[in-house]
Structures are given as C-alpha cells and as structure tokens.
Structure 1
Amino acid sequence: MAISRSQQFFESLWYRKTVWWLWLLWPLHLILKLLVFLRRTFYRVGLFKSTKLNVPVIVIGNITVGGTGKTPLAIYLIELLKSQGFKPGLISRGYGGQSEHYPLTVTESTSVAESGDEPFLIRRRTQVPVVVDPIRARGAKELESLGCDIIICDDGLQHYALQRDIEIVVIDGKRKLGNGWLMPFGPLREPKSRLKQADHIVVNGKDMVLEPEAIQAINGQNSEFTVPFTAVAAIGNPERFYRTLEELGYQFKSQPFPDHYQFKKQDFESFQSNIVMTEKDAVKCLSFADERFYFLPVSAKLSKQFLQSLMEQIKAITHES
C-alpha cells in the first residue's frame, strides 16, 4: 500500500507557493482557527478539565502535520535525564497501535501492533517506563505510580487535558511552516502565534541534527550490506529519510507508505533488492524480516545553548516542587 495520493497532493501544495484555487479552502482555515481558539480558551478558564500531576511534565510536539523529528529528540532527552539522576517515563498516544485495554505499559512482550511504532521504539532504545493511552492524563498518572519523577509527553502539544511545565516545539528546518496556513489550506494544526507561548523551539537541522549511524540488519545478523536497495518509509516526512541516504552517497529506489502504516510480510513479496527503512519502521518488521531487511539508525545531537537552557528550567521546577 503506497502513500495516499491525496496526502502527497496536499503536502506538495502546502510546501510551495500557494496555487489560486487553494484559496477556496480558506473558509475551512478560519473555522479551524476559531475552534482552536475556543478549545484553548475553554481549557484556560476551566470549562474543560485539565489534570496537574505531582511531577514535572515536558511536552514535545509540533504545530504542523507530519514528522519533524520528535522521536529522536524524546530519546535524547530521556537519556539526558537519566544521566542527571532522574527517573523519566514517556506517555504516548500510540498512533498506529490498538490495544484492548488502556493505559498500556509497554514491556518486552508488547507487540508493535498494540503499542504503535514510536512507543515500542522508545522503550526498546531507552528501557524506561513507556505508557500508551489515548487519554494522556490517565496514562501520565500511571507513569507517576510506576515511580517516574519526570514525564515526557510525546506529540502532546495540542493535548491540553494534561497540564505541562515545559513545552518544546520541533520544526522541520527544510519545510518550516509551509505556507503558514491552518489545515486544510495549509499544514498547520495551530496558528503560528502558538510558537510564542512555547518554552523552547527546536529547529531540526539547526538546533538539532540527526546523525546517521551504520546501516544494520533488522534480524540482527552480521550480513554484509549490499546495493542496490529500495528505501521504504512510513513516516510523516519520508523526504527527510531519503535526503539523508542521498547525503550518504547512496542511490536507491524510494517507496513511501502512509504514516504509521503497519507493515505485513505480503507488502514486500515483490521486492527483489535489499530494503532499507527507518528504525521506527524496522520495529514493525521484526517478526518477518529476512536477510533483505536493513535499517538506518539515527541519533539526535542538540545545541549546547538549548540543553543548558532546558536543564536550568528543569532544575528550577524540580527545586520548587
């Protein structure tokens, strides 16, 4: 199943000079802007319930549709907090996953189909408590009960039912905010003015760099990687993945899939060459990956200025509590 044509079509319009007929969707932009304003106002004045935890909450999110690099940033911050003596945990909606019960604590026996790809990957990389719950506040309370003394909320910027102490907004350095309009006229979930209220803005490609490591076999065998290959991506911004491979000097065919797509063995029956994917996609192929399957791991590197400012803020919050 390839990425939907409608998704490709609208994204191609959002990130270039606006064509005239797209203005026909401008009324929908105004409606969403009003709804966003009313929703935030209702939370602010208490008409909608918002939960405050006893431990600090750091929200990582974005105001655009699609991927910006939140998962590598979450992994980096978890490792940083662990090195500073904290006991972090992560709460996620678990997009792409489906469980029979929530909150779902991700363990070694949890499947990607239950948790979703991002929570599974973060738990696998960091070994900290990760909880999946569509109701973020309930899942965060579960992390609190598990002994976490600081909580990271992944992709939770618009989930105001959970109060936060620190907001980090991630922006793609290449695509930025596109045409600057709200969906479906543009790629924004909230107006650009929302950025003024965030504690930190991290631009992927400037404040944060994703450094690729050596391509690895998904099945763990030390087989030698050979070309040609097909680059497969089911992430919010597959072009960033393809661009990274190009910068490494590889030539390949590309095959995008919908974001958070749950791969099946049958999806790859027609592939004759090797397959390279992101680590987030690779965890969905663990049960059936053969010698053709590889992934490209990446690690985030953050600017010293951002890290210093963030840690000062975290220490001030934890000192107050």
Structure 2
Amino acid sequence: MLGTRPTARGSDPAAGGAAGRPPGCRTGGPGVAARLNGLKWGLWPLGVVHGAAVWCRNRLYDRHWLPVHQLPRPVISVGNLQLGGTGKTPLTAQLIEALEARDLRVAVLTRGYRRRSRSTQIVPACATPPPPVQQVGDEPLLLFRRLRKGILGVGSDRYRTAQQILAQHPVDVFLLDDGFQHRRLARDLDICLVDFSRWPAHPLLFPVSELRDLKSSLRRADVVLHTGPAARAAQVQAWVARTGRQDQPWFAFRKRPAGWVDLRSGRPVAQLNERDRPAGAICGLACPTHFWHSLQAQGLNPVWRRGFPDHHWYRLPDLQAILRARQRYGFNSLLTTEKDALKLVGLVNHLPADLKLFYLKIEMQVEQFPRLLALIVDRLGAYRR
C-alpha cells in the first residue's frame, strides 16, 4: 500500500478510491473494479445463503414466532439496509439535539460495535470524565458528546440495557441506534436510511453487494431517508407504494462538512491554508470513498491516503506506516474523520509535533427536517395518549 505512488489527484488504488465520482465504495481503476466485481460474483452462493437466513429471520418476527419486547417508554429506531456509511450516527445526533431542545429526556441505546469492553455501560450526560472510547466505542462516544441531559446505554442486549436505564434514570424517549435489524425490541417509529448510489440492481446481499437486509424490508419502515440518485429513489418509492405502503413518508438528505478541528488542541479551524499542504489522509470507515470525495469537494487532494477497516483501532505499526509515507510523500498535515480522531488522540505523542492533525466534522442536512421532527413528536404524543 505504501509502495503505490498516487497520481497528482491523490488516487491510490490501495486506498479504496479513485478520483472520479463514486458509484459505490469499491473503486480504484477499471482493472481493480473488474477484479473486485469478479470476486464478488464468485461469492454469490454466500449472498444467497445470507439472504435466505435474513428472510427466515424476518418471517419469524413477522409471524410473531420470535419474541418482541416492549418498553414502557416510546422507542424511535434509526437504522439502514446497507453496510455502514449511510448517516445513521449524524441523524441520531441531530435527533438528540432536537428532542432535548423540546425538553425531552433522551436515552440512546446502542450496541457499541467493535468496542473493547463487553460489559453494559450506562453513562449519564453529566459524567465526568467522559467514558473511554475503549469502553463504549467510537460512534457511541460521538453520540454521548451530543447529549446535554440524557443517558447513553451501550450493550448487546438493548432491552436489558434499557431496563437498567429505567431503574436508575427518568426517560421520556429512547433512540435506538442502528436498530432496523434489531427486531427483538419493539419500536414506535422505524426510520430507515438508504444510499441509492450503492443500491444494487440485483437482490443479493453481502458479500455480493453492500445490502445487509432484503430490499423488501424497506416496506417495514415507517419513514425513509434517502440520498443518492433521485431517479432511482423515485423508482424504489413507487415500487414500495405499489406493494402496499402508500403512507410511507420519504425525505431526501445529504451529509455535508461542518468544519475542521485541530486534533491536538480541539480548536475549530476556519479553513486549511497553504502551510497545511500537501496533506495525507486516513480513515477507518465502511465506505472510505465518502471521505475521499468530501476532501475533493473542498479542493483537497491528498498526496497519500489510506483506508482502514471500519471502526479500526490504530496501533503503533499504523503510525509507523504513516511516518514512512510522510517521509516519502512529504505531507505537512494528516486529515481524518471525527470517528477516527477519537482513537488517534491517545497516540498523538507518537507522531512528530510538526505534523499537523485535523479531523472533519460531518452534519446531516435533511430536507423538510421540521416535518420529520413533527412526525416523531406526533408519534410520541400518540404514545402518551
């Protein structure tokens, strides 16, 4: 990976992205794309088995043969059909702020995927110091930072975690993060996010595509938030309506940069200047192409970049690889995501002080967000009635 020299536009085949517009997350030139496409289709039996297993599980829940647990407070679920990168965390963060602004006591339920602790964590917003990222995970810690008076609950058994929260704290509403497939917990509103730039023409699930659930499961959602090609979204919305869900509200959204932050000091940076260039870039995301193209949209073309697996825990060998790349490509700063910054901040002493470190904050922009919020509040009101 370090031995491949990027082009002037920062296109590193090993980094998981080319300089053009991303139709998905697997780019890097026609040859690489063709090999990856051939590999994926060679795994089609696994996609069939995965789809059959998901269909059977959904059928068991639909027929009430698997138990569904009901909480004594309303539950708003935020989830998706695809593997990562659709915007669940920014949307959940935005809902936290909007609901707390209405003086509601919010409790966030999340699994804490790939955290280093298996114990259940119940953390009030007033907790000092904040919980270590190793205990709660990177995305839950991002959500914790948005809470002002609520509770963060992290555990694999979301129902039991919620019961523990209710035994200790007053709660008005639960936000179930990444909850679309977590059907053992009843919800009062199911929000599903879809990225139609990664919507396959075939029905096969991962590893053939990035689908983690059946396309037909979209009919189960109470609200759909979508991004990507509008024409494709309109086609799928029409199909959902024809199959019996004419009452399903759809909202377009996009993720946009919300500004840079100096990782060492925590101070916002108005903009990166010429002294910060050339730059390198790293990220540990399910879809690194989103980050690469966010950089390009701001006129930033890293001379070196590297994508790590989603929720990657950085270690000293990773930092050594960054330093070798810096020696070769001569970048003055290293750009990364807010999620990655949480796991890099404890390692900055192992990087030279003259290497500037910046992370990009992302926010969600939902068309007609007041209407979406009104739907949620109305559902909460119906629960109370």
TM-score w.r.t. length of structure 1: 0.86
State the identity %.
27
Secondary structure of the residue that 1:37 maps to in structure 2?
Answer: helix
How far did 1:53 drift? Answer: 0.7
Please tell me whether residue 141 in structure 1 is matched to residue 163 in structure 2: yes
C-alpha distance in structure 2 between counterparts of 1:191 and 1:100, whole Å: 29
Considering only aligned residues, what root-mean-square deviation do their CA atoms show, in Å? 2.9
When residues 299 and 195 of structure 1 are mapped into structure 2, their CA distance, relative to the original with a 3 A threshold, is same
Contact conserved, 2:25 with 2:289, CA < 8 A, in 1?
Answer: no
Contact conserved, 1:90 with 1:151, CA < 8 A, in 2?
Answer: yes
Question: 2:383 maps to which residue?
Answer: 320
Count of aligned residue pairs for this structure pair = 314
Question: 2:265 maps to which residue?
Answer: 220
Question: 1:234 maps to which residue?
Answer: 284
Task: Report Cα offsets for 1:144-165 as digits up to 9, x if no partner.
Answer: 3422211111111111111111
Which of 154, 172, 175 is equivalent to 1:152? 175
Question: 2:249 maps to which residue?
Answer: none
C-alpha distance in structure 1 between counterparts of 2:113 and 2:156, whole Å: 9
Which of 132, 135, 142 is equivalent to 1:121? 142
Structure-to-structure mapping, 1:255-270, within 5 angstroms:
255-269=306-320, 270=322
TM-score w.r.t. length of structure 2: 0.73
Please tell me whether residue 275 in structure 1 is matched to residue 342 in structure 2: no
Structure-to-structure mapping, 1:1-321, within 5 angstroms:
12=26, 22-105=40-123, 107=127, 108-127=129-148, 128-145=150-167, 146-177=169-200, 179-204=202-227, 207-220=252-265, 225=272, 226-252=276-302, 253-269=304-320, 270-271=322-323, 272=326, 273=331, 274-289=333-348, 291=353, 292-304=356-368, 306-321=369-384
How far did 1:19 drift? Answer: 5.2
Secondary structure of the residue that 1:259 maps to in structure 2?
Answer: coil
When residues 80 and 19 of structure 1 are mapped into structure 2, their CA distance, relative to the original with a 3 A threshold, is same
Contact conserved, 1:69 with 1:204, CA < 8 A, in 2?
Answer: no
Contact conserved, 2:40 with 2:207, CA < 8 A, in 1?
Answer: no
Question: 2:237 maps to which residue?
Answer: none
How far did 1:219 drift? Answer: 1.9
How far did 1:139 drift? Answer: 1.7
Tell me whether 286-295 or 147-156 shows the greater mean CA deviation: 286-295
What 5-or-longer segments of structure 1 have no aligned partner? none
Contact conserved, 2:121 with 2:153, CA < 8 A, in 1?
Answer: yes
How far did 1:22 drift? Answer: 4.8
C-alpha distance in structure 2 between counterparts of 1:277 and 1:178, whole Å: 32
Tell me whether 173-182 or 189-198 shows the greater mean CA deviation: 173-182
Task: Report Cα offsets for 1:227-283 as digits up to 9, x if no partner.
Answer: 111111101111111101100011202210010011234422343331111111111
What amino acid maps onto 2:187 in structure 1? R
Rg larger for: 2
Question: 2:5 maps to which residue?
Answer: none
Secondary structure of the residue that 1:286 maps to in structure 2?
Answer: helix
Contact conserved, 1:235 with 1:258, CA < 8 A, in 2?
Answer: yes
What 5-or-longer segments of structure 2 have no aligned partner? 3-13, 18-23, 28-32, 231-251
C-alpha distance in structure 2 between counterparts of 1:113 and 1:289, whole Å: 17
Task: Report Cα offsets for 1:73-104 as digits up to 9, x if no partner.
Answer: 11011111111221112111101212252244
What amino acid maps onto 1:185 in structure 2? V
